[in-house]
Amino acid sequence: MRVLDEPAVSARLHMATLIPAIGRALRALAAGSVVQPVRTIVPIAEHRGFLGSMPAYVDGHLGVKLVTFYPHATGPHTHHAVILMFDAATGAPQAMLDGRLITEMRTAAASAVATDALARRDAHVLAILGSGVQARSHLEAMRLVRDIRDVRVWSPRHAATFARDHGVHAAASAEAAVRGADIICVATSAQQPVLHGAWVAPGAHINAVGATRPDWRELDDALVARATLFVDSAEAATRESGDVIAALAAGRTATEIGTVAEGASTRRGADEVTLFKSVGVAVEDVASAVLVLGG
């Protein structure tokens, strides 16, 4: 059985090839050609953490990700993971991969798939709420699908450091970062809304990748009631995302991003606000692992 640690995964996984691979995986999911139950979550109450089990079978590839999420962790990472790949014909284990970087990169790659389909072609101004690994990964991914000329970042603690390290602008507040932005990426560990609809310009596109529990929110009611909503998995998002649950309660519908054909646009006008709410799905992890393994 092959064992690949994070440096080995990093040497083999590249955003430019990952984005189209994730696009194919999400289209397969929307087409119903993926066997993928909603993730099983085990709460670790005394340590305020969670363990998730995420299996999927797609296009002859069988795998499962085991992922831990400790949102209050004081170390550099809130997520850790391993991905196990099996021979689908025999059930024999084939490989074990460190999944932390895969989780980071495939999440941003899914946002890039959505951005390419939903954001205006003349979108040049990017706002990022958050300054952790997802902020870093989303910055890379957004630059691959749009001509980004101005980047503003805000987070409660480390925006200035992130801005200095990446050559972007640190904003004084979330509102200051978001006002006038064409693309907004929300990548925080917030459990209460950090992005408000009143700040969002007409025609903006939003990627929201946090608040993946039914009682957590990162977007306010005004935004979810206003935006045209897309998700990675309707089944998962309607169970796991407090923002999606609120949007459905406000009469919105959730469309799976995989139903949007590659290269197509669903925009109904220059002023439409679009929202991609991602909870992260196992088929993305399996597709990423296949790419790393050279399959």
Note the pLDDT of residue 263. 67
- The whole-angstrom separation of Cα 151 and Cα 174 is 13
CA end-to-end span of the chain: 15
- The whole-angstrom separation of Cα 247 and Cα 227 is 9
What residues contact residue 223 under an 8 Å CB cut-off, 6+ apart?
193, 195, 196, 197, 200, 206, 273, 275
What parts of the chain have a pLDDT lower than 50? none
User: pLDDT tens-digit profile of 45-89?
Assistant: 889 889 999 999 999 999 999 999 887 777 778 889 999 999 999
Contact call for residues 158 and 187 (beta carbons, < 8 A): no
Amino acid identity of 240?
E
- The whole-angstrom separation of Cα 168 and Cα 180 is 16
E strands of 22-88, at which residues?
34-35, 40-44, 49-58, 61-69, 79-86
What residues contact residue 156 under an 8 Å CB cut-off, 6+ apart?
none
E strands of 49-176, at which residues?
49-58, 61-69, 79-86, 93-98, 125-129, 150-154, 169-170
CATH numbers and ranges of domains, the chain? 2-103+283-293 (3.30.1780.10), 109-281 (3.40.50.720)
Note the pLDDT of residue 267. 78
Note the pLDDT of residue 269. 84
Beta-bridged to residue 217, according to DSSP, are: none
- The whole-angstrom separation of Cα 164 and Cα 170 is 8
pTM of the model: 0.94
Contact call for residues 200 and 228 (beta carbons, < 8 A): no
Beta-bridged to residue 294, according to DSSP, are: none
- The whole-angstrom separation of Cα 9 and Cα 5 is 6
Contact call for residues 36 and 55 (beta carbons, < 8 A): yes
Note the pLDDT of residue 241. 92
For 10, 104, 112, 287, the CA distances from 140, given in Å and listed in that order, are: 14, 12, 9, 19
3-class DSSP assignment, residue 50: strand
Q: How far is CA 130 from the centre of its chain?
A: 13
Residue among 161, 104, 106 nearest 134 (CA): 104
Note the pLDDT of residue 279. 94
Note the pLDDT of residue 246. 93
Residue among 237, 184, 190, 232 nearest 210 (CA): 190
